């Protein structure tokens, strides 16, 4: 059950909570009657949170303060149980505003992986939209389903175990297609058949060659306005001892491709 | 009326359409019975689009092709009628996933400006959420209201002409606060009073001094997990003559601050 | 004549001086008996500088102050009379420290262009070293020779009008090879024959494909430790109204390739 | 003795050589009659190199190839024995071309640290120039002197153990001042007294506050054309499996300040 369904800001059984001790000790937990969270700064009983408000300040058994925070979308993505790499929040945030996805949208997600993207899309298209999430590898799907259930998004996601290059999509006329696979170019022709005219396909890949090939295939398949960007996140440390950018960090994740479909003989 | 309300992908009177001729000629227009769009590549009659599907390929009176595309959220932001600078899509996309805002959320936006942010938030919180948008300068509010009406978001935004430092907020217990003002630090104490415990305040400013002062005040006012980042967007040009990053462009927009509120005496 | 040859810091006839009025009005001039420099802030007689020290503060005929500054290496590069694009100082500075070039070095420069690179290298290898600068297009060489003469570096540069892919180099065993041409890969095999064992070849290109092909050919031709980087320069504006990075600017110039030659049968 | 003093490219006793096995196994060594270099890929006898040419390919006792390369300036800087952080080659390369330092220059270096900067400057100003290197902490000077001796630069560096804020400089009228200290602003007024008119002072600091204070003091002390930049180095990995930027790395080192001195009453 999603915490936002209630307006009273109370933590309930099953709610996801970000337990924050300090910048190195942050844990995404599900409120539970009989589990404890342990850290080197002490233990926290998860049942203590039941009925308290988000923002609650507790104490570990060693006397350290912990804070019960509402997880952001980025937190949910990062703290998902993963068997694969995930799309980074900085990249997904950018891609979302580069599409027209919103409440009520019907979208396809190819390459379910850990389900992090499907989860975020499900939250955005709720309550009436739907995410159709395709994955070839059965073992990933099981983990993804658990992550989606934990985040309370089950009603807005349909999973398919399928190689869409071979077997195509079930979904008809979707508002957007998200491709998170090693060979996005192979999926572009079949994606064209289910994407609404004028709407958005997005794809991301770490290597230049993948981007080149995807762009070429998009241009051959009635996609226009094809654009590629990178998003670089740079932290600024604001401290008493001085303000400066962080000294080490992530310097590359993926190139972000997006394009829009046109109707060749102007009929849909 | 928002185009996404209908599932048939047909362009109707009043729909917002991105008319695309090439990367230098892109126009956001509202489908109309009696207006024409003119460019140096020829004229386009906006009534021709009525009843056609998004993705339609038309021709100007000079024989150049134009494409009728579904505007992305970023397009809506950039093409809004502005009297002020706007938050950039790259920054807003990042901030959105750094909060828990979604369908049903109630959020405050201080510094309405052109209304671009309120419009994006309204689309995200629809159909049941609400954006409370505060602006001191009456002349901006009129323009913002027109932009919101044009985007079909009127039902999910309430505007207030008010200096919130002096007069505070009407809204009680919101899920997030967005600050786009020159002196965000001045608003932090009053924002604390209406933000739910554990939830997110975000703010952005171009200068280091603004960030420093805002961070200091956040830390003095029961906000924790205070973080500052920049988002740098870098286009990759993928062309027949060679792949390379764009040679000139935007190198700075704003520092993005976000923080979460805790409950001092652990009562909400 | 190079100003640094005298230790008294006096400006003499023929010296290069950077006349600075403000950040938008900076001119590289040669001290002269009968020339004037004109700007919208007034005229300056270049003979006034003769016998004055660098750092002199003069006044235009309209009463605006101007400053006589010692040009940096970067100034000399940027203010050279160009018929081609030049290597940027940020890139050249990096490449210089990635080689072992210094006083006494003998280096090859292919793609003379405007002569900016030959000029910088000449200053570094002086007084006893030599730059061998190759250019296919005669019309560029004339301009380059004038730039080198103006900078007082004639004694340390030998120019050749030649296509080195076809006709090879005259120079025997140089300490470094610098390639600033559209097809550096074509020159790598012949460059190998004149480069000392263990020493450095550097090359720069705007496009990924050029880099890829050059790297491949280097690896096939007894070069190891092949590395590619970009250098991004980001200005920080430090002003009374606030500190922030510059908002618009250069976002890409070139990828910088460097490698070192090994001796196949370990004989030189 | 510097290897470049001989034109025959032969490795001699005492020469600095970069032994390269692969990108993770690179060692700067001094050719020696009785030392061995050990790695997990086998041992190498340093006397084997005597009389061989740079570029020589040897084998460890375990049969792995190693390559004897000429160290670049950047290699010498990175491989120096350090007791402090050093200025990064990417930053120093940029600063060098932003000054007019070359063969014959006389320059001041404040904050000797490990001596890496003094070493590079000494190589550039050789054979006739001089580096005056000041350091407050005696324990650093001993290490720096050893590093300078090892690099064969002793003749072009004079060391001083002194707090220049209190006791000033010995050197009269230098061509450039390099400041690598935590409080550069404190040194600006005394640096002004020994810097030639029109010439360059450069300084670098990790924090914004240090930059702000230094810029303010420079402007109060007859320095103009004050500019601040960052240099960001981004590696591009060019591999068979795909081309992409490196995924993790250094994201900040220092802000680079430079300025030029003017003569107040136009007398030097």
Interchain CB distance below 8 Å, D268 and C53: yes
pLDDT at A135: 96
The angle subtended at Cα B18 by Cα B17 and Cα B23, nearest 5°, is: 170
Gap from A168 CA to chain B (nearest CA, Å) = 21
Q: Which residue has the tokens 């420079």?
A: D218
Confidence category of residue A78, pLDDT binned at 50, 70, 90: confident
Q: Cα separation of C253 and C88, whole Å?
A: 8
Q: Which of D130, D191, D131, D139 is nearest to D161 (CA)?
A: D139
Maximum Cα–Cα distance across chain C: 70
How many C-beta atoms lie closer than 10 Å to residue A14's C-beta? 13
D205, D231, D251, D256: which to substitute to probe chain A, counting the most A Cβ within 10 Å?
A: D251
Taking CA–CA distances from B95, the nearest residue in chain A reads A93
> Residue B250 is nearest to which of C242, C244, C247, comparing CB atoms?
C247
The residues on A that touch D, with CB distances below 8 Å, are 206-210, 234, 241-253
Give the pLDDT confidence score for residue B159 in this predicted structure: 97
Name every chain D residue with its beta carbon within 8 A of the beta carbon of A248.
248-251
B36-39 and B25-30 strand pairing: unpaired
Cβ contacts of C252 on chain D, cutoff 8 Å: none
| pLDDT tens by residue, B142-181 | 999 999 998 889 999 999 999 999 999 997 799 999 999 9
Phi then psi dihedrals of residue C103, to 5 deg? -55, 130
Contacts of D106 in chain C (CB under 8 A): 7
What is the DSSP code (8-state) at residue D60? -
What is the model's pLDDT at position B264?
A: 83
CA distance A237 to B226: 10
Tell me the per-residue pLDDT of A194-234, one tens digit each, with 9 for 90 and over.
Answer: 999 999 999 999 999 999 999 999 999 999 999 999 999 99
Burial (0-12, 13-18, 19+ Cβ within 10 Å), A237: middle
Chain D residues touching residue C119 (CB < 8 angstroms): none
Measured between beta carbons, the chain C residues lying within 8 angstroms of D250 are none
Cβ-Cβ contacts under 8 Å between A and D: the total is 57
Please state, in angstroms and rounded to a whole number, the distance separating the CA atoms of residues C108 and C104.
Answer: 13
Among C207, C210, C245, C255, the residue to mutate for chain B (most B Cβ within 10 A): C245
The answer to whether the CB atoms of D252 and A243 lie below 8 A apart is no
Backbone angles phi, psi at B25, to 5 degrees: -130, 90
Nearest to D208 among A206, A207, A243 (CB): A243
CA distance C88 to D86: 24
Nearest CB among A207, A234, A250 relative to D244 is that of: A207
Tokens of B162: 């008010």
- Does A253 sit within 8 Å of D206, measured CB to CB? no
Torsion of CA C98, C102, C107, C112, to 10 degrees: 80
Contact A239, B215 (CB under 8 A): no
C-alpha distance from residue D139 to each of A160, A177, B100, C149 (Å): 67, 63, 54, 47
Cβ <8 Å between A224 and B90: no
- For residues C72 and C88, the answer to whether their CB atoms sit within 8 Å is no
User: Rounded to an integer, what distance in angstroms lies between the CA atom of residue A9 and that of residue B263?
Assistant: 12
What was the pLDDT predicted at C3?
45
Nearest beta carbon to residue B232 from set A106, A234, A264: A234
CB contact under 8 A, C237 and D230: no
β-strands A157-161, A130-135 pairing: parallel
Q: Please tell me the distance in Å from A80's CA to the nearest CA on chain B.
A: 15
What pLDDT shows up at residue A86? 78
- Neighbours of C, requiring at least 3 CB pairs below 8 Å, are B, D
In contact, C101 and D126? CB cutoff 8 Å? no
Confidence of residue B81 (pLDDT cuts 50, 70, 90): confident
Q: Which residue has the higher pLDDT, D81 or B140?
A: B140
Measure the N-to-C terminal CA separation of chain C; round to a whole number of Å. Answer: 38
Q: Which residues of D touch C228 (CB under 8 A)?
A: 235-238
| Chain C residue nearest residue D223, CA to CA | C55
The pLDDT-based confidence of A81 (bands split at 50, 70, 90) is: confident
Q: Which residues pair with C59 in a beta bridge?
A: C65
Q: Which residues of B touch C250 (CB under 8 A)?
A: 247-248
A103 to B127: CB separation less than 8 angstroms, yes or no: yes
CA atoms within 13 A on the CB side of B27: 17
Q: Which residues in chain C come in under a pLDDT of 50?
A: 1-4, 266-268
Q: CA-nearest residue of chain A to D253?
A: A247
- Please provide the average confidence, as pLDDT, over all residues in chain B: 92
Measured between alpha carbons, how far is B126 from A102 in angstroms, rounded to an integer? 8
3-state secondary structure at position C133: strand
Q: What is the pLDDT of residue A116?
A: 92
Report pLDDT digits (tens) over B178-213: 999 999 999 999 999 999 999 999 999 999 999 999
- Please give the residue of chain C at the shortest CA–CA distance from D56: C266
Query: Can you give the pLDDT at residue B1?
Result: 37
- Calculate how close chain C gets to B208, using CA atoms only, in Å: 6
Chain A residue nearest residue B199, CA to CA: A70
Size of interface B-C (CB pairs under 8 A): 58
Which other chains touch chain A, taking contact as 3+ CB pairs less than 8 Å apart? B, D
Residue B265 has pLDDT above 80, yes or no: no
**Which residues have a Cβ under 8 Å from the Cβ of A201 and sit 6 or more positions away?**
A176, A177, A179, A188, A191, A195, A218, A223, A258, A259, A260, A261
From D9, D198, D234, residue closest to C55, measured CB to CB: D198
b/e for D205-218, b at 16 or more Cβ within 10 A?
bbbbebbbbbbebb
Q: C208-220 and C184-194 helices cross at what angle (nearest 10)?
A: 30
Check A251 against D244: CB less than 8 A apart: no
Q: What is the mean pLDDT of residues A98-116?
A: 94
Using a CB-CB cut-off of 8 Å, the residues of chain A touching B98 are 72-74, 89, 93
Yes or no, beta carbons of A212 and B238 under 8 Å apart: yes
- At residue A112, does pLDDT exceed 50? yes
Identify the chains in contact with B, defined as 3+ C-beta pairs within 8 A: A, C
Contact C96 D98 (CB under 8 A): no
Distance CA A92, CA A72 (A): 13
pLDDT score, position A6: 57
Chain A with chain B: Cβ pairs closer than 8 A: 279
pLDDT at A268: 39
Quote the minimal CA–CA distance from B234 to chain C in Å.
Answer: 8
Interface test with D, best of C22, C69, C203, C214 (most D CBs within 10 A): C69
Inter-chain contact A243–D209, Cβ cutoff 8 Å?
A: yes
Mean pLDDT, range A244-252, rounded to an integer:
96
What helix, strand, coil percent values describe chain D, rounded to 5? 30, 35, 35
State pTM to two decimals. 0.93
At which residue do the structure tokens 């496009």 appear? C207
- Structure-token pair, residue B243: 């792949």
- Which residue of chain D is at minimal alpha-carbon distance from C244? D208
Nearest to A234 among D244, D247, D251 (CB): D251
Contact present, C205 and D34 (Cβ < 8 Å): no
Q: Do residue B9 and residue A126 have CB atoms under 8 angstroms apart?
A: no
CB contact under 8 A, A53 and B77: no
Out of C208, C243, C247, name the one closest to residue B251 (CB): C247
pLDDT at A43: 95
* Smallest CA–CA distance from D252 into chain A, residue: A247
Chains that touch D (3 or more CB pairs under 8 A): A, C
Q: How many helices (H) and strands (E) does chain B have?
A: 7, 15
Complex-level ipTM: 0.92
Q: How far is D236 from chain C (nearest CA, A)?
A: 5
User: Does A206 contact D252 at a Cβ distance shorter than 8 Å?
Assistant: no
Contact between D125 and D103 (Cβ < 8 Å):
yes
Contact B209 C242 (CB under 8 A): yes
Give the residue from D87, D252, D76 showing the smallest Cα distance to D184: D87
């Amino acid at each position: 059950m999603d915490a936002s369904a209630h307006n009273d800001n109370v933590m309930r059984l099953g709610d996801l909570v970000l337990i924050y001790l300090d910048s190195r000790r942050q844990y995404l937990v599900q409120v539970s009657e009989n589990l404890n969270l342990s850290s080197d700064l002490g233990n926290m009983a998860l049942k203590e949170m039941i009925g308290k408000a988000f923002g609650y300040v507790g104490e570990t058994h060693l006397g350290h303060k912990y804070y019960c925070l509402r997880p952001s979308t980025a937190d949910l993505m990062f703290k998902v149980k993963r068997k694969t790499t995930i799309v980074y929040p900085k990249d997904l945030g950018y891609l979302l505003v580069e599409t027209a996805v919103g409440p009520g949208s019907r979208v396809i997600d190819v390459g379910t992986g850990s389900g992090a993207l499907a989860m975020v899309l499900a939250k955005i298209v709720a309550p009436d939209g739907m995410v159709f999430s395709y994955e070839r590898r059965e073992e990933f799907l099981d983990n993804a389903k658990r992550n989606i259930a934990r985040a309370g998004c089950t009603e807005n996601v349909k999973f398919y175990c399928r190689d869409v290059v071979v077997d195509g999509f079930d979904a008809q006329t979707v508002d957007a297609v998200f491709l998170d696979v090693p060979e996005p170019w192979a999926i572009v022709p079949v994606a064209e058949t289910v994407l609404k005219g004028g709407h958005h396909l997005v794809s991301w890949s770490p290597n230049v060659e993948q981007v080149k090939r995807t762009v070429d295939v998009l241009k051959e398949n009635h996609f226009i306005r094809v654009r590629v960007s990178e998003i670089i996140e740079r932290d600024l440390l604001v401290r008493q001892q001085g303000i400066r950018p962080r000294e080490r960090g992530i310097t590359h994740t993926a190139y972000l491709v997006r394009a829009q479909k046109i109707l060749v003989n102007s009929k849909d």
